[in-house]
Structure 1
C-alpha cells in the first residue's frame, strides 16, 4: 500500500490523454481495451471490461481458490474464509471504492477477483516454499504467477500460431491486476534500503508485461485501478482476519486494553512488515481503533454478538475506504480518476490503523501457527511434490503441463513447468497428490 502526500504527485506530467486516432470510451481509450491477441468483434451488449470480469468468474483458477488457504486452512471450520471468499470480499470493497473515484467498476472488480489467483496451496507458507525452490529460475511470487495464469496457463484463447494467450484480458485489466509492476529483484528499495522481495513478472513473461505496460509512465508506478485493488485487499485482509480470529476463539479483543499487549502487536508488525514502522504510531492506531467502539470485546458466539461483529467489520471498512476516497478527492478533485491520471491518497493514520489490525492477526493467529508441526509438514509437501514431479515428468504431470514440459527449452524451463503445476493445486489436491506419489514411492 502506497501513501501519497498532497503536492507529491503532479497529474499533469503523466495524466492519461487520448492519443491521435484513439476514441475515448468514458475515461478509457481504445488502447486500454485492446487485447494482446486481437479477437473478432463481440456483442455490443457488454463492455470489454464486463467481458473481462465474466472470463475471470468462469475461470478454473478462481474456482480453485475455494480450497486454498487464506490465513487458516479451508477445513478449519465452516466460518473461516478461503482465498475465494476473501477475493469476493476484496472485489466488493474495491468495486465500491473504484466507483466512487470514477473508475470502471467492472475493471476494478476484475483486478480484485484476480489478485490472488496465482497463490499456491497453503497460503503464504506454500508461497515461501516455492520461492526457495524457484530461486535459481527467477523466483516465485503469487502476483507474478497471477500474470502467468491470466496470460498463459488459464485455457481460453490461443493465438493463430497455437501459443496460449490465457484469458486474453484487456490491457487495462491486466495492468490493474499487477500489484508489483517490476521484475524479480528490480523493485523499489524498502525504507531500510533492502530490495523488496515482491515482484510481478517472471523473465519468460516479459513480452506480455511490456505490452500491458505500454503507455504507462516509467518506473514502478501502478495505475489507479491497481492501487484501489491493493488497498481493498489490505482493508479486507486486516478486518476480516481479525473477525475470523474472534469467531474462532483465537482472539479476545480486550487484550488491546493492555499496553504490553499493544506493544507485542507493534513488535510483530515490525518483525513481519519491516522494522522501520514506528511502534508509538502503531500503539496510537490501536488506541484509536479501540476508542471507536467498533472492536467487539465481549463476544460470546450468540447471534446478537455475531451481528455486532459483522457491523463492526462494516464500520471499519467504511472508515478506511472513506478516508482514502476523501483524501484522494481533496488532492485530485472531481471527475473520473482513472489509469494514470491520478494516484490513490491514503492518509498516514489510516495506513497505520490498517497495518495495526494486520499486526493483531499476526500476533494472535499467524505467528503462533508457524511453530505448529502442520506448518512444517505443508512446506515438506510442496518440496516433495516438486521433487517427485520433476523426477517423473512428463508422465506424472497433468496433460496440459506435460505438454508444456515437452516444449520447454532447458532444465530451468522444465522446472518452471513443474512449479506451475504445484502452484495450481489446492490444499486438498496437493495433500492427496503427495499421498499418492510420494508416500507410494517411499
Structure 2
C-alpha cells in the first residue's frame, strides 16, 4: 500500500480489534467491504441512471454505472500510484446519495428541502456514510454510519464545501436534466464529521483520489451513455448530424467551444481504430465491436490523463500532494460524446414527458409525508423523527426517507399515500 499516514487511516470513532480472527486487511480494504455490503449500495440497482432501470434489460442503472466507474477508477489509481482500494471505494460510494429518478429527483428534493438546508446528492452521500447507514455507534449512542477512514471519506467528497459557499448552477447534468441544484458536499448539521475529515486541509481543494474518482465518473458516463443509445437504436455514429451535436455541446457542456476545437475533437474520436464504419446491427459481432469501442475510448482518456499528470508531478500522487491533470483535448472529446447522447437521447420527447411526471410524483410524495407525519416512515427514520428538535430537523428526516427510496418504491409509496 502507498504510504498513507496515521491521520489518513484514522476513523471518526475508534474501533477495537475484532474478537473473531479474520484475514488481515488494510483499513482501505475494510472500507471497501463496508460500502459493498451497505443497504444503500443495493438500492442503486433500482435507481435511474439516464432512463429508468425497468425500461430495458440492457440499460445501465446507478449500481451498474457505479461498478463501471469503480473499475475505471481502480485501474487509473493503480497506474498513478495512489491506493486502488481507496479510490475504488470512493467510486462505489459516489452515487449512494442519489434519490429516486436521479438528478431529476434531486431537483425536487432540493426545492422541498429549501427550509432545512437544501438537498444535494453528494452531501447526501456523506450523510449516508457518516450517519444513516447502520454499522457503528459512538459511545453516546449516536450512529456514525459506516465509520470509514478519513482518507476514504475525503475521496468520496466531490464538493468539499457548504451550500453557502456553492456557486450558482449552470448547464445540465449527464442525464439531461437542467442544473438547478447548487453543488455542495455537506449539510450544516453534518459539519462536525466534515470538519474532522478535512482536518489540516486548506480551502476547497479535492484530494487527488477524489479527482481520480471524478474523472472516472466523467469518462464512464460520457462513453456508456453513447453505448446505451446505440443499442437502443437512437444513435448511429456513422451518420451523425454534426451541427446538431455541436449545438448540444455548446448548449449543455462547453459554451465557449470553438468550431475548430470541436472539429479537431470529433476527428480525434473518429481516428480511434474501433470507431464504426457501418451501423450497429444487434449481432454478437456488432456488440463485440461496440464493446471494443467503449474500451478503446476509456483507455484513451485515462492514458491521456496519466501522461499529463506524470508530466506535471513527480509523485507520490497521494491525498493533497498533487492534482490530476486532464488535457483539454480529452475534455473536448468527452463533451462531444455527451453532446451526441444529449442530442439523440436526452432530448427525446418521450423521455422529457417521463421526467416531468417523475418530478410531479416525487413532489406529491413529499407533501403526503408532511401531512402523514412519522406514522408512515420506516423505523430508522421514525426514530430520527422522534429525536428531532425542530421543524427543520423533522423536514430533513422526511427528505432522508424519500431519498432512500428506489424508483419503484417511490412510485409504490405514491400509490399508497397519494
* TM-score, structure 2 normalization: 0.93
Q: Identify the residue that residue 71 of structure 1 maps to in structure 2.
A: 50
Q: Could you say which residue in structure 2 is the equivalent of 1:9?
A: none
Which aligned pairs between 1:156-305 and structure 2 lie closer than 5 A? 156-187=135-166, 197-216=182-201, 218-256=202-240, 261-273=241-253, 275-296=255-276, 297-305=278-286
Matched, 1:377 2:377: no
Q: Distance in 1 between matches of 2:84 and 2:15?
A: 23
1:113 to 2:84 alignment? no
Preserved contact between residue 69 and residue 427 of structure 1 (Cα < 8 Å)? yes
> For each residue in 1:107-150, what CA deviation from the matched residue of structure 2 results, as whole angstroms up to 9, or x when unmatched?
00100000000001111111111112222322211101100000
- Residues 188 and 195 in structure 1, CA contact (< 8 A), matched pair in contact too: no
Structure 2 CA distance for partners of 1:411 and 1:111, relative to 1, 3 Å: same
Label 1:221 to 1:367 Cα distance change in 2 as closer, same or farther (>3 A). Answer: same
The answer as to 2:9 corresponding to 1:33 is yes
> What is the CA–CA distance in structure 1 between the aligned matches of 2:118 and 2:349, rounded to whole Å?
25
Change (3 A) 1:205 1:308: same
Q: Which shows bigger deviation, 307-316 or 389-398?
A: 389-398
The residue aligned with 1:325 is 306
> Is the CA contact 2:168–2:182 (under 8 Å) kept in the aligned structure 1?
no
Quote the residue 1:357 is aligned against.
Answer: 337
Counterpart-to-counterpart distance in 1, 2:9 and 2:23: 14
Q: Which residue of 2 aligns with 1:341?
A: 321
Report the TM-score when normalising by structure 1. Answer: 0.88
Structure 1: distance between partners of 2:242 and 2:116: 41
Deviates more, 1:138-147 or 1:86-95: 138-147
C-alpha separation in 1, matches of 2:357 and 2:398: 20
Structure 1: gaps (5+ residues): 1-24
Q: What do the CA deviations read for 1:12-38 (whole angstroms, capped 9, x no partner)?
A: xxxxxxxxxxxxx74200000000111
Q: Distance in 2 between matches of 1:362 and 1:210?
A: 38
- The match for 2:175 is none
* Higher mean C-alpha displacement, 247-256 vs 92-101: 247-256
| CA deviation profile, 1:170-211 (whole Å, cap 9, x unmatched) | 00000000011111141367899x998211111111111111
Between stretches 167-176 and 282-291, larger displacement belongs to: 282-291
Q: What is the Cα-based RMSD across aligned positions, in Å?
A: 2.0
Q: Deviations over 1:63-109 (max 9, x none)?
A: 00000011111012111111000000000000010011111111001
Contact 2:90/2:152 (8 A) holds in 1: yes
SS in structure 2 at match of 1:28: coil
**CA–CA distance in structure 2, aligned partners of residues 378 and 318 of structure 1:** 36
Answer whether contact 2:131 2:145 (CA < 8 A) is retained.
yes
Q: 2:287 aligns to what?
A: 306
Q: Which runs of 5+ in 2 are unaligned?
A: 172-178
Match of 1:416 in 2: 396
| Deviation larger for 81-90 or 40-49 | 40-49
Change (3 A) 1:191 1:363: closer
SS of match in other structure, 1:339: coil
1:15 matched residue in structure 2: none
